[in-house]
């Protein structure tokens, strides 16, 4: 295989706006697409495929609007197919739409597999070769850079290598600037892709590219292997979104090329630090929750949970990290769970600003408490607020700001079908006892309102705190309706946010635990001491 010693420059071609948008449950607005294009250009992508102007009005509108976006580096590409068999290339509506799009580059796909030519196009093999060559030549005569996508090329090659090669020779004869070998069905393995790409490289002098899908979970590996075999152009999407199982993921391909294989790209190392940001940006506009376990850019990509791992990373991160997370705009995270050792607690405490030594007895107390609670259904990986609260109580020794004497929740369905929720709460603040009741649109809302009613006259800063997310997770589903449930709540005061957790077989009790942690967390952050008994004031 060709090694990366000569380090050719690899051209990066993003098809998020076209192939990525064909993924199930993804639909970009025109504004989304323009914003993503600008972001990709800023990042250093060489080609941005905007859509298929011959197929729908919205894609045609994109190409009209993108002219008003200050694209500085990237070349915008319009996508289409070779001429329909019933048209000469000059008369084909699809090719004319590509010209009308006004882009400097156009990408067209054609049939490589004799099976497709006979059964889908229903034309002769020779007719297909003429349409490929003629379509490419027509677009070149119109002054466009032409990228030819050889659809299903790898399946075609294994079925009939002579004809597959004839199709790419036709594109080369027509004047294609780059011929992209497409692994369209996504089922080939890296050694197959590499060997075929090498074979084509020996036959074709036109620069080669790779376009891989991920149906066998090898999209990235296949792309990298094709580049090792001589391809100098790689196509993919941000976060690997695309039809079926997705496309090759540029968020994994680009750092592999730059940091591991020594290839040059327009995404220099200083721009690579924005990789995580652009990954999350595209996910947000696609209305997708970012994949925590995505390599390089996922929140869990550099997260360490096992005690031995955390201890080793503390000595030298290279022991359990394949790259420095800062180089791809990510960061290291130390998780605390029942698998933790003292190293996790110490690292997390120091991360939160506590001064703590490895022999501090409070560290073991917190670790024991975490393990006890996690065995009961709690989970602190996504509840830093509750963990910080536990650390403050153990390391700072602060007294509680209030004491809950008791609470009661009534959930009543009235005869007319209305549901009424009421919570009654009794708390002690300093030397005063407050007894409050509140109605809510549900039991959690009623408890939250009643607690605030009791506390806000002592702690007015609680008025700026509100709940922004509420999740319930069944811990042991086999127990049915008697299962333990875990409640995760996110609070914010408009400046910062924090997550807290509760767990119980009673969802009301689990919610109550989380609400208390959320309120106490705010008070511990905003105040150094609780109200004195003398004044009863804050």
Task: Summarize pLDDT for 460-505 with one digit per residue, the tens.
Answer: 999 999 988 898 988 877 777 788 999 999 999 999 999 899 999 9
Q: How many domains does the chain have?
A: 3
Q: How far is CA 101 from the centre of its chain?
A: 31
Structure tokens at 511: 């919610």
Whether 5 is covered by a domain: the verdict is no
- Say if residues 168 and 204 touch (Cβ distance below 8 Å): yes
Q: Rounded distance, CA 300 to CA 303, Å?
A: 5
In a domain, 395, yes or no: no
End-to-end distance of the chain based on CA atoms, in angstroms? Answer: 73
Q: Which two tokens stand for residue 277?
A: 């940001």
Question: φ, ψ for residue 75 (rounded to 5)?
Answer: -100, 125
pLDDT band at 341 (very low <50, low <70, confident <90, very high): low
Integer CA distances (angstroms), 314 to 79, 215, 333, 343, 346, in order: 49, 38, 12, 8, 10
CB contact burial 191-215 (16+ within 10 A = b; e otherwise): ebbbebbbebbeebebbbbbbbbbb
Is the same domain home to 318 and 444?
A: no
Say if strands 145-151 and 105-111 run parallel, antiparallel, or are unpaired: parallel
Where does a domain end: 223, 250, 267?
267
Closest-CA residue to 251 (of 272, 265, 269, 227): 272
Q: What are the CB-based long-range contacts (under 8 Å, 24+) for 2-8?
A: 2/198, 2/228, 2/229, 2/230, 3/228, 4/228, 4/261, 4/262, 4/263, 5/262, 7/262, 7/263, 7/264, 8/232, 8/263, 8/264
Which phi and psi (to 5°) does residue 277 adopt?
A: -60, -45
Within-domain flag for 6: no
Buried b (16+ CB within 10 A) or exposed e, 375-396: eebbbbbbbbbbbbbbbbbbbe
Q: Do 252 and 140 reside in the same domain of the chain?
A: yes
- If phi > 0 it is left, if psi is from -120 to 50 it is alpha, else beta; for residue 53 that is alpha
On whether both 40 and 163 belong to a single domain, the answer is yes
Same-domain status, 375 and 240: no
User: What CATH number is associated with residue 519?
Assistant: 3.30.160.270
Regarding whether 181 and 116 lie in a shared domain, the answer is yes
Token pair 């996922």 is at which residue? 298
What is the DSSP secondary-structure string of 18-34?
TTGGGSTT----HHHHH
Q: 244: which 2 tokens?
A: 């079926």
Residue 493: domain span: 403-526
pLDDT digits (tens, 9 = 90+) for 291-309: 989 999 998 899 887 767 7
Both 345 and 221 in one domain: the answer is no
Give the β-pairing of 11-14 and 419-429: unpaired
Q: Which distant-in-sequence residues (6+ apart) come within 8 Å of 130 by Cβ? A: 170
Q: In this structure, are 154 and 26 located in the same domain?
A: yes
Helix (H) or strand (E) holding 131: helix 125-141
- pLDDT greater than 90 at residue 42: yes
CB atoms within 10 A of CB 35: 16
Closest CA to 432 of 411, 466, 450, 455: 455
pLDDT digits over 377-395, tens only? 887 877 888 888 888 877 7
pLDDT tens per residue across span 518-528: 999 999 888 75
Same domain, 307 and 234: no
| Rounded Cα–Cα distance for residues 368 and 385 (Å) | 18
Query: Measured between alpha carbons, how far is 538 from 529 in angstroms, rounded to an integer?
Result: 9
Name the more confident of 269 and 477: 269
pLDDT of residue 40: 98
Question: For residue 392, is it within any domain?
Answer: no
Dig out the tokens for 98 from the structure. Answer: 């590509």
pLDDT tens-digit readout, 90-128: 999 999 999 999 999 999 999 999 999 999 999 999 999
Q: How far apart are CA 480 and CA 470, in angstroms?
A: 21
> Is residue 212 scored above 80 in pLDDT?
yes
Query: Which of 156, 191, 216, 207 lies closest to 13, judged by CA?
Result: 207
pTM (predicted TM-score): 0.73
Confidence of residue 183 (pLDDT cuts 50, 70, 90): very high
Residue 354 pLDDT: 76
Q: How many Å apart are CA 17 and CA 488, to the nearest integer?
A: 35
Sign of CA dihedral 195, 200, 202, 203: positive
Rg of the chain on CA atoms, in Å: 30
Indicate whether 3 belongs to any domain. no
Q: Please check whether residue 297 lies inside any domain of the structure.
A: no
How far is CA 281 from each of CA 35, 191, 388, rounded to the nearest angstrom? 10, 34, 29
Contacts within 8 Å (CB) and 24+ apart, 441-448: 443/409, 443/411, 443/508, 443/511, 444/470, 444/508, 444/511, 444/515, 445/421, 446/409, 446/421, 446/422, 447/407, 447/409, 447/423, 447/508, 447/511, 447/512, 447/515, 448/515
432 and 359 within one domain:
no
Are 309 and 235 members of one domain? no
User: What is the C-alpha separation between 118 and 160, in angstroms, rounded?
Assistant: 13
**Are 436 and 467 part of one and the same domain?**
yes
Give the CATH number, domain containing residue 108.
3.20.20.70
Q: Is residue 283 part of a domain?
A: no
Give me the mean pLDDT over the 41-69 stretch. 95
Q: What is the mean pLDDT of residues 226-234?
A: 98
In a shared domain, residues 40 and 178: yes
Phi-psi label, residue 506: left if phi above 0, alpha if psi -120 to 50, beta otherwise: beta
> 294 lies in a domain?
no
CB atoms within 10 A of CB 469: 11
The side-by-side arrangement of strands in the sheet containing 419-429 is 403-413, 419-429, 432-440
């Amino acid at each position: 295989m060709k090694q990366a010693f000569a380090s050719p420059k690899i051209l990066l071609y993003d098809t998020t706006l076209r192939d990525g948008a064909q993924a199930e449950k993804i639909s970009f607005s025109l504004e989304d697409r323009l914003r993503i294009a600008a972001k990709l250009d800023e990042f250093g992508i060489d080609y941005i495929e905007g859509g298929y102007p011959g197929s729908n009005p919205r894609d045609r509108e994109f190409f009209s609007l993108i002219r008003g976006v200050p694209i500085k580096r990237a070349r915008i590409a319009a996508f289409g197919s070779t001429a329909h068999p019933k048209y000469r290339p000059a008369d084909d509506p699809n090719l004319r739409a590509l010209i009308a799009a006004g882009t400097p580059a156009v990408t067209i796909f054609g049939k490589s597999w004799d099976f497709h030519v006979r059964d889908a196009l229903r034309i002769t093999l020779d007719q297909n070769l003429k349409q490929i060559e003629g379509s490419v030549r027509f677009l070149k005569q119109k002054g466009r850079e032409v990228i030819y996508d050889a659809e299903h090329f790898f399946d075609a090659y294994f079925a009939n290598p002579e004809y597959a090669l004839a199709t790419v020779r036709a594109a080369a004869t027509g004047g294609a600037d780059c011929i992209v070998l497409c692994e369209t069905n996504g089922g080939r393995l890296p050694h197959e892709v590499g060997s075929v790409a090498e074979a084509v490289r020996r036959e074709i002098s036109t620069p080669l590219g790779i376009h891989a899908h991920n149906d066998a979970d090898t999209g990235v590996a296949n792309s990298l292997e094709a580049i090792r075999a001589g391809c100098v152009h790689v196509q993919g999407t941000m976060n690997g979104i695309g039809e079926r199982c997705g496309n090759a993921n540029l968020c994994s391909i680009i750092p592999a090329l730059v940091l591991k294989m020594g290839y040059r790209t327009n995404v220099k190392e200083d721009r690579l630090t924005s990789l995580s940001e652009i990954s999350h940006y595209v996910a947000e506009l696609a209305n997708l929750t970012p994949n925590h376990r995505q390599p390089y850019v996922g929140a869990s990509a550099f997260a360490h949970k096992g005690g031995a791992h955390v201890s080793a990373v503390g000595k030298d991160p290279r022991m359990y990290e394949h790259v420095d997370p800062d180089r791809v705009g990510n960061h290291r995270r130390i998780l605390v769970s029942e698998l933790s050792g003292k190293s996790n607690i110490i690292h997390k405490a120091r991360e939160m600003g506590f001064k703590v030594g490895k022999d501090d007895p409070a560290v073991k107390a917190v670790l024991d408490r975490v393990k006890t609670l996690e065995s009961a259904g709690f989970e602190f990986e996504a509840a830093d607020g509750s963990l910080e609260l536990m650390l403050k109580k153990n390391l700072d020794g602060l007294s509680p700001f209030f004491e809950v004497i008791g609470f009661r929740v009534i959930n009543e369905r009235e005869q007319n079908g209305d549901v009424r929720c009421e919570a009654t709460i009794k708390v002690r603040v300093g030397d005063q006892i407050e007894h409050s009741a509140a109605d809510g649109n549900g039991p959690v809302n009623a408890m939250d309102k009643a607690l605030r009613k009791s506390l806000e006259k002592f702690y007015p800063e609680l008025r700026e705190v509100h709940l922004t997310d509420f999740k319930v997770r069944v811990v042991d589903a086999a127990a049915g309706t008697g299962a333990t449930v875990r409640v995760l709540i996110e609070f914010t005061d408009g400046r910062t946010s924090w997550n807290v957790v509760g767990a119980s077989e009673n969802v009301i009790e689990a919610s109550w635990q989380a609400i208390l942690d959320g309120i106490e967390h705010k008070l511990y952050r905003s105040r150094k001491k609780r109200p004195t008994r003398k004044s009863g004031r804050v």
